[in-house]
Amino acid sequence: MELLDFDIVILGTGIAGMTAAIHATEASKGRLRIALVSKLHAMRSHSVCAEGGISGVLYTENSDDSFQLHAYDTIKGSDYLADQDAVELLVRNAPHEIRFFEHLGVPWDRNDKARISQRPFGGMSIPRTAFAADKTGFFMMRALYDTVTGYENVQLFNECMATSLFTEKGRFLGIFSIDLGTGKSILFKAKACIIATGGFARVFSVTTTSYATTGDGIALAYRAGLPLKDMEFIQFHPTTLIPSGILITEAARGEGGYLLNSQGKRFMEAYAKSKMELAPRDIISRAIISEIDAGRGFKHDKSGLDYVELDLRHLKGRIDEKLPMIRDICTKMLNLDPVNEPIPVRPAAHFTMGGIHTSIDGKIMAGPSSSETEGLWAIGECGSVSVHGANRLGSNSLSQCAVWGRIAGRDAAKYALDAKSKGSDGLMDRAIGEEERIGRLLGNRGSEDPYELMHEMQNTLERSFYVYRRMGEMARAAKKLAAIRARYKDVYVTDKKHIYNTNLRDVIEIGNMLDLAVAVAECASRRKETRGAHAVVEYPEREDKSWLKHTIIQMHGEKQVVSYIPVNITKWQPQKRVY
Ligand SMILES: Cc1cc2nc3c(=O)[nH]c(=O)nc-3n(C[C@H](O)[C@H](O)[C@H](O)COP(=O)(O)OP(=O)(O)OC[C@H]3O[C@@H](n4cnc5c(N)ncnc54)[C@H](O)[C@@H]3O)c2cc1C
């Protein structure tokens, strides 16, 4: 096993992780040695897929926009579960971050007054989403990658997969990982660690996210005994291509696309009269499923999937300029040109609002409401700083990655510069224990097919934790998921080699997803209300009296313990959510 000693280790090279690397470098004037670790090549991180844009109030003169309005939209969009102090921090810092990315080289679309263009997005009162065509994530990632690879103090470990996080009494000690290319173990020892490993929407069978979005960092933290927050809130994006689940960005509706049922009607009028197709995603996803359930959907011949139509035909001229990738995707995947035909769409898992429980500064908490850990941050989609609450507004995630990338990068740098070297007794023994566990997994000749377990898990979640949920079904599914997880110990790995063993990688990811799937089910099956993306048929209303609270789940040994903490309300008292 190779032992590598750094000042800061950052897990993840998406927009959150690479942004943190830049700010930690700048804050320390390049004095800190930073390891930037990614199980993929950095530029294949999920963030490259982000399409529609990044939110932020850029211009207030001659405009009705304001920080207050962005905060209000986000809080209302979250169905009042967002922590309002965190939302205020997000909206105040987002504009600066958009300009920061411009300085890094992102070619923001500009209007005829040479200002950064902003397009409308769901649940936003005003157009405030900056974009680079429909390839925003790609351009942001390219700018970040070009910058971090120019820093001498940052060392990139591409295709290096973390499997375990070591802490001692809430203090960060190290990360165990496997160099996928060689199969060799690497133990990263550092003063500080920033986890930026993305979300876990791959626990569903149909999702818009990349194959690597398996929630590894969240599972690592969970198994290290750290608390997770609001795991029941999974966002289903209303417009994904059938049958693949490839995203048709909300920008398609922002640019003016309509949703039509089988009677040719813009049905959103019945669900969100004032916002129509630009209502928040939870509301549109429910509307689509309600239309389908009422017999006003279409059926896809090959897959048998029900769907509605997204009509862009009236946008002819704008499609090539503003939505070139969408035209390309439809042409290649369905042999359908959106200039001439409507696009068949239905909701699919897209974003995970829950994640590692953090403070407002992105510091990982040690317990439900107790003190912070030492030297550990979680940012981007894996961290639940709770700006999205029960339902994220589109384009707020990239701002979250950028804002907390800066905060955590700077804070971790300060911490690492000030930290006195403390002992890390037992770290090597624990790493050897983890190396042996992985060795046993590789040698396992059990009876369980890992891919079968994964499909059972994904189908169970898809069936019982989709857009509409039912109490009895969730309880049964929770038991079933626990049973599937228990079978994981008998899983077999077919490929016994060490060099680029993708089979072993998959099995580790499946283990992570199973832990998180059980956590989702445990949290969801307790919440007796409809709030944001958690819509329960038997409890169709939001119940603030009993349920205006965050769910926390933590592992105590083999037991999962669920508890609740209050939501931080500053200025915006919960109101009925009407659009
Ligand atoms: C198709 C699509 C389009 C989207 N468009 C938008 C948009 O326009 N605007 C918006 O605001 N949001 C959008 N989102 C959401 C947004 O893209 C994500 O929330 C955001 O990019 C997450 O970034 P991240 O840095 O947290 O993680 P990611 O970009 O997911 O990166 C995770 C990193 O962690 C690494 N990693 C994971 N596990 C391990 C491990 N075990 N060991 C080592 N490394 C590991 C990965 O290799 C990767 O580098 C979109 C989502 C999807 C699915």
Token pair of 361, please?
A: 């500064």
pLDDT tens digits, one per residue of 199-238: 999 999 999 999 999 999 999 999 999 999 999 999 999 9
Q: Calculate ∠ Cα 329-94-387, nearest 5°.
A: 85
Residues labelled as active-site residues: 237, 253
Q: Where are the beta strands (DSSP E) in 40-98?
A: 54-55
Same domain, 195 and 255: no
Residues 178, 84 share a domain: yes
Contact partners, residue 318, CB within 8 Å, separation at least 6: 255, 256
CB of 219 closer than 6 angstroms to any ligand 1 atom: no
User: Which residue, among 427, 439, 378, has the nearest Cα to 5 in the 3D structure?
Assistant: 427
Q: What is the pLDDT of residues 517-561, one digit of tens each?
A: 999 999 999 999 999 999 999 999 999 999 999 999 999 988 999
Average pLDDT, the chain: 96
Distance between CA 344 and CA 308 in Å, rounded? 6
Q: What per-residue confidence (pLDDT) applies to 61?
A: 86
3 state SS of 372: strand
When pLDDT is cut at 50, 70 and 90, the band that residue 83 belongs to is very high
Residues 124 and 46 grouped into a single domain: yes
Residue 296 tokens, joined: 């006003």
CB 198 within 8 A of CB 382: yes
User: 36 CA distance to ligand 1 centroid (A)?
Assistant: 15
Residue 568 in domain: no
Encoding tokens for residue 165?
């996080």
Q: d(Cα 306, Cα 314) in Å, to the nearest integer?
A: 24
| Ligand 1 mean position, distance from CA 50 (Å) | 8
Instruction: Assess if residue 565 is contained within a domain.
Output: no
Half-sphere exposure of 508 (CA within 13 A, CB side): 25
Q: Determine the Cα–Cα distance for residues 368 and 553; give it in Å rounded to an integer.
A: 8
DSSP string over 255-276: TT-EEE-TTS--GGGGT-TTTG
Verify that 385 and 534 share a domain, yes or no: no
What's the whole-number mean pLDDT along residues 344-361?
Answer: 98
- The DSSP annotation for 426-437 comes to THHHHHHHHHHH
Both tokens assigned to 195:
């986890």
Distance between CA atoms of residues 473 and 537, nearest Å: 11
In one-letter notation, the amino acid at residue 103 is H
In angstroms, how far is the first alpha carbon of the chain from the final one?
A: 57
Q: Which mutation among 397, 404, 407, 513 tests ligand 1's pocket best, with the greatest number of atoms within 8 A of CB?
A: 397
CB neighbour list of residue 114: distance below 8 Å, 6 or more residues apart: none
pTM listed for this prediction: 0.97
Answer yes or no: do 78 and 149 share one domain.
yes
The answer to whether the CB of 240 is under 6 A from ligand 1 is no
Q: Among candidates 116, 48, 126, which has minimal Cα distance to 325?
A: 48
pLDDT at 549: 98
Chosen domain end from 361, 391, 418:
418
Query: Can you tell me which residue has the tokens 């701002």?
Result: 399
Same domain assignment for residues 34 and 112: yes
For residue 493, pLDDT beyond 90: yes
Provide the domain limits for residue 256.
241-347
Strand extents, DSSP E, 477-576: 535-536, 549-556, 559-566
Q: Is 391 within a domain?
A: yes
Task: Please report which confidence band the pLDDT of residue 318 belongs to, taking 50, 70 and 90 as the band edges.
Answer: confident
Instruction: Report residue 100's pLDDT band, with 50, 70 and 90 as the boundaries.
Output: very high
Residue type, 65: D
Structural domain contains residue 551: no
Task: Mark whether 177 and 227 lie in a shared domain.
Answer: yes
Asked if pLDDT for residue 417 goes beyond 90, the answer is yes
Q: Which atom of ligand 1 is nearest to the CA of 199?
A: 30
Calpha distance 510→493 (Å, rounded): 12
Regarding whether 360 and 319 lie in a shared domain, the answer is no
Q: Is 240:208 a contact under the CB 8 Å cutoff? A: yes
| CATH number of the domain where residue 319 is located | 3.90.700.10
Look up tokens 């942004």; give the residue. 19
Residue 462 has pLDDT above 90, yes or no: yes
Give the separation between CA 316 and CA 339, rounded to whole angstroms. Answer: 5
| Other beta carbons less than 10 A from residue 95's beta carbon | 21
Quick one: 439 and 330 in the same domain?
no
CA angle 19, 23, 25 (to 5 degrees): 115
Token pair for 23: 């700010």
Ligand 1: residue whose CA is nearest its atom 8? 52
143 in the same domain as 24: yes
Buried b (16+ CB within 10 A) or exposed e, 255-265: bebbbbbbeee
Whether 11 maps to a domain, the answer reads: yes
- Cα of 199 vs centre of ligand 1, distance in Å, is 7
Mean pLDDT over 447-474 rounds to: 98
Tell which atom from ligand 1 comes closest to the C-alpha of 13.
49
CATH number of the domain that residue 149 is part of: 3.50.50.60
DSSP annotation string for 125-190: SS--EE-STT-HHHHHHHHHHHHHTT-TTEEEETTEEEEEEEEETTEEEEEEEEETTT--EEEEE-
pLDDT in tens, 136-185: 999 999 999 999 999 999 999 999 999 999 999 999 999 999 999 999 99
- Taking the centre of ligand 1 as the mean of its atom positions, its distance from the CA of residue 353, in whole angstroms, is 13
pLDDT at 266: 98
Identify whether 294 is part of a domain: yes
Residue 115 lies in a domain: yes
Q: Could you tell me the pLDDT band of residue 345, with boundaries at 50, 70 and 90? A: very high
Per-residue pLDDT tens digits for 188-206 = 999 999 999 999 999 999 9
Q: What is the spatial distance between Cα 284 and Cα 337, in angstroms, rounded to a whole number? A: 24
- pLDDT for 29 equals 97
Q: 193 and 254 share a domain?
A: no
Is residue 218 lining ligand 1, measured as CB closer than 6 Å? Answer: no
Distance CA 531, CA 474 (A): 16
The domain spanning residue 490 has which CATH number? 1.20.58.100
Span 307-320, average pLDDT: 92
Q: How many folded domains does the chain comprise?
A: 3
Among protein residues, the one with the nearest Cα to ligand 1's atom 37 is 197
pLDDT of residue 445: 86
For the cut 80, the answer to whether the pLDDT of residue 421 exceeds it is: no
How far is the C-alpha of 86 from the C-alpha of 388, rounded, in Å?
A: 10
In terms of DSSP H, where are the helices of 194-280?
216-223, 251-254
For residues 507-523, give the mean pLDDT: 98
Q: Which atom of ligand 1 is nearest to the CA of 381?
A: 26
Q: Which of 19, 38, 235, 508 to mutate to test the pocket of ligand 1 (most atoms within 8 A of CB)?
A: 38
Last residue of a domain, one of 418, 436, 453: 418
Q: How many CA atoms lie within 13 A of 293 on its CB side?
A: 8
Residues 168 and 38 in one domain: yes
Is the pLDDT assigned to residue 74 strictly greater than 80?
A: yes
Assess if residue 578 is contained within a domain.
no
Under 8 Å CB-to-CB from 370, ≥6 apart: which residues?
A: none
Decide if 195 contacts 169 (C-beta within 8 A).
no
Residue 80, classed as helix, strand or coil, is coil
Q: Does the pLDDT value for residue 105 go beyond 90? A: yes
Q: How many CA atoms lie within 13 A of 504 on its CB side?
A: 28
Last residue of a domain, one of 304, 320, 347: 347
Pick the residue with more confidence: 35 or 423? 35
For residue 291, how far is its CA from the centre of ligand 1 (angstroms)? 31
Q: pLDDT grade, residue 316 (50/70/90)?
A: confident
Going by alpha carbons, the residue nearest to atom 2 of ligand 1 is 50
